[in-house]
Amino acid sequence: MPRYLPKAPVARIIKEAGAERVSESATETLVYHLEKFGVEVAKQAAELARHAGRKTVTADDIDLAIQAIWKKSKK
């Protein structure tokens, strides 16, 4: 899977969450998982838009996709 997210902002997210220091591997691992999650959300959102007869993915599609994925992961 190609990398889309830059490492520096992801490392800052980890630091803002309370880490004093962040290893390169921790940053790379979070980048990987964020991108994987993002692709799943985008796929679900695109399907919702198609189901609604639209070509454009909206913010509501993204929100609904995230809700659906979180509900599915809690089961």
Per-residue model confidence as pLDDT tens digits over 4-61: 999 999 999 999 999 999 999 999 999 999 999 999 999 999 999 999 999 999 999 9
Note whether 7 and 31 are within 8 A (CB).
Answer: yes
Note whether 28 and 62 are within 8 A (CB).
Answer: no
Q: Which residue has the higher pLDDT, 33 or 72?
A: 33
pLDDT at residue 24 in the model: 97
pLDDT at residue 1 in the model: 66
Angle 58-62-67 from CA coordinates, rounded to 5°: 145
Say if residue 74's pLDDT is above 80: no
